[in-house]
């Protein structure tokens, strides 16, 4: 049996849906991934079962196992997809662009992810909170690599005097924390305010206030 680390590394070298390229098969895989996201968000990895996921997808257990050999394989597929979508906006930060506009756009993208894909955010948060036992190989490779590259971009902006002194990694952690809180702790926010990111005005206020605080910290002082 493959270890969790080797299973993740193996998954990273495979194209999603490799060998299953018909339209119906692609649709079924997507349906299963969506259903798994719902179940993993609600029950966590330990509480989720193949039966629950199949039921959520309105498919048989045998049909699910045709596309995914195990719960772990399906879980890894869900996490990989989340990471791809999660990292895409960060990849857009470019040294030759205006830093305030770039950071503002990144904050927009992070909040949009929390608003449009709250269950994906919760799946990711649950995995991290539980110690990232399964996803750690991705964190130590893909996430570490892109964070290091974007740290270089932020340092370059600082060297050019375009933004003030701030620790690049901690700055990124702050953006992640602020934006993801609205998805991961939505029950708490709803209990206190009776609102969430689906409320357009509440969403706009949340993004605007985050920008005021976060951007104030990087705008150069005269």
* 11's tokens: 């998954």
pTM of the model: 0.85
DSSP 20: -
How many Å apart are CA 73 and CA 15, to the nearest integer?
A: 13
Higher pLDDT, 70 or 20: 70
Mean of the per-residue pLDDT values of the chain = 89
Q: Which of 32, 12, 37, 163 is nearest to 99 (CA)?
A: 163
Over residues 118-159, the pLDDT tens digits come to: 999 999 999 999 999 888 998 999 899 999 999 999 999 999
* 49's tokens: 């079962």
Q: State mean pLDDT over 35-50.
A: 96
Over residues 59-101, the pLDDT tens digits come to: 999 999 999 999 999 999 999 999 999 889 999 889 999 999 9
Phi-psi label, residue 163: left if phi above 0, alpha if psi -120 to 50, beta otherwise: beta
- Residue 20 predicted with pLDDT over 60: no
Confidence grade of residue 7 (pLDDT, cut at 50, 70, 90): very low
Query: What domains does the chain contain, in order, with CATH numbers?
Result: 4-74 (1.10.10.60), 82-216 (1.10.357.10)
Q: What long-range pairs does 186-192 form, CB within 8 A, spacing at least 24?
A: 186/118
So what's the pLDDT on residue 193? 96
Q: Which of 45, 36, 204, 203 is nearest to 131 (CA)?
A: 45
Q: State mean pLDDT over 47-60.
A: 96
Confidence grade of residue 175 (pLDDT, cut at 50, 70, 90): very high
* 221's tokens: 């002082």
Q: Exposure string (b/e) for 106-117, b if CB count within 10 Å is 16 or more? A: bbebbbebbbeb
Higher pLDDT, 15 or 211: 211
So what's the pLDDT on residue 121? 96
């Amino acid at each position: 049996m493959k270890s969790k680390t080797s299973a993740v590394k193996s998954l990273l070298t495979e194209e999603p849906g490799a060998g299953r390229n018909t339209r119906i098969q692609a649709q079924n895989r997507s349906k299963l991934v969506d259903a798994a996201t719902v179940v993993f968000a609600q029950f966590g990895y330990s509480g989720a079962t193949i039966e629950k996921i199949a039921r959520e997808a309105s498919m048989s257990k045998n049909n699910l196992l045709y596309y995914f050999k195990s719960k772990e394989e399906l879980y890894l597929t869900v996490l990989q997809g989340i990471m791809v979508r999660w990292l895409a906006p960060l990849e857009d930060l470019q040294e030759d662009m205006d830093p305030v506009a770039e950071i503002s756009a990144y904050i927009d993208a992070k909040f949009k992810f929390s608003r449009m894909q709250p269950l994906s955010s919760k799946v990711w948060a649950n995995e991290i909170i539980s110690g990232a036992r399964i996803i750690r190989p991705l964190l130590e490779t893909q996430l570490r690599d892109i964070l290091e590259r974007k740290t270089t971009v932020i340092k370059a902006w600082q060297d050019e005097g375009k933004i003030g002194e701030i620790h690049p990694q901690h700055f990124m952690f702050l953006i992640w924390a602020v934006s993801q809180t609205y998805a991961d702790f939505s029950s708490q926010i709803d209990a206190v305010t009776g609102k969430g990111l689906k409320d357009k005005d509440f969403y706009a206020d949340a993004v605007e206030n985050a920008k005021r605080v976060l951007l104030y910290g990087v705008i150069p002082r005269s």
